[in-house]
Every structure is written in structure tokens, then in C-alpha cells.
């Protein structure tokens, strides 16, 4: 593999830190690594392969002689630098929602639609974390059996809102246990020992943005405008790793539970955890820090036994839901 010059924008954030660690673990062929962030973070030192790398302030000149730029600094930053990155001859792999639904921007999960990455025009988008984790469980079955409808319920961890949300959950939990007052600043509702509708923008149709992302992004990734998805996305007091309950309704007969297990077990990036005898199934604690998505609770839908099955999946939102998927996209370019 040829070595590439890589820039990470948002290097000091939760996903940015994971970018660095994933590149190390996957032995990404880096000729030069440039760490970029806001002015506030400039001057900080982060280690890559045992060496100190100094974080620089992101500027219009940051992308000269850079081959690949991994962005995780929010949609406004991605939009601001998009043309600058492309004019520099660099490819942006963007973790924000800024370009996901643009028709000329590929939306890629490397295990599912790697060929789409070849059709980029300077930008490739990382799908939303809940979409990636859902499709890692759905696609191995969808590939062989036509899916008519997906009913999705998500249980999303604090990591989806960054380090500040994770720290707020920790402090709020301690305050709650000590019967002390606590003022929420990141989340809109009390977070410790509570759950609430996902804190993304509510839309006129009664869904929030997170729920509509799963619908729109799934159709784009699968190139399937016929599949229907309805989602309920909930924020839960878990530090890291999202969990999702999935009901799949098929156009024709549903596959057997045994075949679903086999299809999932043979799919890269998936680990089947489905031990009925010991009541052991995917849990966010077990998924945290893992590259694989854990899938279990594989069973017939007793309300529609000939046509539907149920699944449960847990995946690390910072890894397969963000940093790992982006670095895997970068490897496609290499």
C-alpha cells in the first residue's frame, strides 16, 4: 500500500482521538500525520506511534500536500473547509451530516457498499452512527432476503454527543447518588438514571432528525428506494456503545433463525452473541472498545411468524459508528 499524508480535523475530540488510535491499530500507511483543531486546542500534544504530535489550528493552508482529511468537527466546519480541501487535491472523509444526502457524495459502509467510494468528487461521507450499527446487523440478511420494512428502536449512549456529554453523565450520576443538585448543560433533560427522546431537532412530522437519518441514509446506502423504515431514537444513560432493537419484515418468507445466525456469523465486522441457555446477549458494556458489532436476540416475530424476525445489536458508537468506519473508508482509497 502506498503511504498517504493524513490530516485529522477535530483531533482533540472524542472521535478525533479514536481516529488516531484506529490508524495505529490498523497500521494505516501514513507518511505524515497532521493534527488539526480549534485555536483553543492548538499546541496540545497527542501521541501517534509513540511520537508526540503537536495539534495545529485549522486554517485555509492546512490541507496543502495532504492526501486524506478525516473530519469530525461538526457540520459548519466541514462545510466551511469543503471547497478548500477539494481545491488542495485532498479527499475529505466527513463524519458530520453536512453532505450525507448530497447526490454526488458517496455514503459508505465499507463492508456493505465499498464500490461507492470510487465515485467521489473530493468528499465521502460517513453515515450516522445509528444507521451504521443497524445496517451491520441487517445487511447480511438483506443481501439474501428482500426486506420490506424495518422497525427500529435505538438506545443511544452519551458518547454520541461527545466527551462533554459523557462527563456530564458521570457527574450527574454521582450527584444523584449523593442526593446533590446538578445543573444539566449539555443534555436538555436530567440524564442520570433517566432516558428521553433523542436530543436532535424535532421535525414537523413528529420525528426527530436522528430518526429520519436512518430512513434516508439506509435507502441511499442500499440503493433501495422501496425499503421502509420507522424509527424511535432514545438517549439512555450509558457512557459508550449504542444498542438497537430491530424488527425485519420480509417481502416473502422470513429466513429461519438458524440461517440468520449463519449469515451474521459469516459477515465481517459482526459477532453473534446469542446464548439463550445462559441468557447472554449483546450489551453495551461488552461492545465498548470492540471493532465488531454484537448481534443477538435472533428470533421469529410471533405476531408475524412467517414474515418477520427480531434482532438486537450493540456497537461502539465512537468506533464502528464513527472513527473505525471512516478509517476503513480511507483504506479503500489507499
Residues catalogued as catalytic: 129, 242
Closest CA to 217 of 118, 96, 317: 96
Per the listing, cell 444507521 goes with: 131
Reported as type and span, the H/E element at residue 52 is strand 51-54
Say whether 207 sits in a helix, a strand or coil: coil
Beta pairing partners, 151: 230, 247
β-bridge mates for residue 124, sequence order = 93
CA–CA separation, 255 vs 9, rounded Å? 43
Query: Taking a C-beta distance cutoff of 8 angstroms, is the pair 205, 124 a contact?
Result: no
Cell numbers given for 54:
503537536
Q: Are 295 and 312 in contact (CB under 8 A)?
A: yes
The 3-state DSSP class for residue 193 equals coil
Q: Report yes or no: 37 and 163 within 8 Å, Cβ to Cβ.
A: no
Closest CA to 48 of 10, 77, 6, 13: 6
Question: Could you tell me if 160 and 200 are in contact, meaning their C-beta atoms sit under 8 angstroms apart?
Answer: no
Report yes or no: 151 and 214 within 8 Å, Cβ to Cβ. no
Beta strands in 87-186 (DSSP E): 91-94, 123-125, 147-156
For residue 75, give every residue at least 6 positions away whose Cβ sits within 8 Å of its Cβ, in sequence order, or none.
Answer: 96, 97, 98
Q: Compute how many other C-beta atoms are within 10 angstroms of the C-beta atom of residue 188.
A: 10
Amino acid at each position: 500500500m502506498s503511504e498517504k499524508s493524513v490530516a485529522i480535523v477535530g483531533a482533540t475530540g472524542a472521535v478525533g482521538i479514536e481516529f488516531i488510535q484506529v490508524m495505529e491499530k490498523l497500521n494505516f500507511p501514513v507518511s505524515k500525520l497532521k493534527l488539526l483543531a480549534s485555536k483553543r486546542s492548538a499546541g496540545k500534544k497527542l501521541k501517534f506511534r509513540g511520537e508526540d504530535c503537536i495539534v495545529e489550528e485549522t486554517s485555509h493552508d492546512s490541507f496543502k500536500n495532504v492526501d486524506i482529511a478525516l473530519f469530525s468537527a461538526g457540520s459548519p466546519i466541514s462545510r466551511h473547509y469543503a471547497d478548500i480541501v477539494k481545491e488542495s487535491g485532498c479527499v475529505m472523509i466527513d463524519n458530520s451530516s453536512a453532505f450525507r444526502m448530497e447526490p454526488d457524495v458517496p455514503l459508505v459502509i465499507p463492508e456493505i457498499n465499498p464500490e461507492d467510494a470510487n465515485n467521489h468528487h473530493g468528499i465521502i461521507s460517513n453515515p450516522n452512527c445509528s444507521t451504521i450499527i443497524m445496517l451491520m446487523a441487517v445487511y447480511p440478511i438483506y443481501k439474501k432476503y428482500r426486506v420490506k420494512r424495518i422497525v427500529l428502536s435505538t438506545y443511544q449512549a452519551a458518547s454520541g454527543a461527545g466527551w462533554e456529554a459523557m462527563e456530564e453523565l458521570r457527574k450527574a450520576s454521582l450527584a444523584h447518588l449523593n442526593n446533590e443538585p446538578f445543573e444539566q448543560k449539555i443534555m436538555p433533560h436530567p440524564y442520570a438514571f433517566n432516558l428521553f427522546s433523542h436530543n436532535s431537532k424535532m421535525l414537523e412530522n413528529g420525528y426527530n432528525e436522528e430518526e429520519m437519518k436512518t430512513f434516508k441514509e439506509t435507502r441511499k446506502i442500499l440503493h433501495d428506494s422501496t425499503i421502509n423504515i420507522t424509527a424511535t431514537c432514545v438517549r439512555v444513560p450509558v457512557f459508550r456503545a449504542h444498542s438497537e432493537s430491530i424488527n425485519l419484515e420480509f417481502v416473502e418468507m422470513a429466513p429461519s433463525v438458524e440461517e440468520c445466525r449463519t449469515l451474521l456469523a459469516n459477515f465481517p465486522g459482526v459477532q453473534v452473541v446469542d446464548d439463550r441457555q445462559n441468557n447472554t446477549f449483546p450489551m453495551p458494556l461488552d461492545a465498548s472498545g470492540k471493532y465488531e458489532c454484537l448481534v443477538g436476540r435472533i428470533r421469529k416475530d410471533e405476531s408475524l411468524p412467517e414474515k418477520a424476525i427480531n434482532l438486537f445489536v450493540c456497537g461502539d458508537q465512537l468506533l464502528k459508528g464513527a472513527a473505525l468506519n471512516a478509517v476503513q473508508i480511507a483504506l479503500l482509497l489507499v
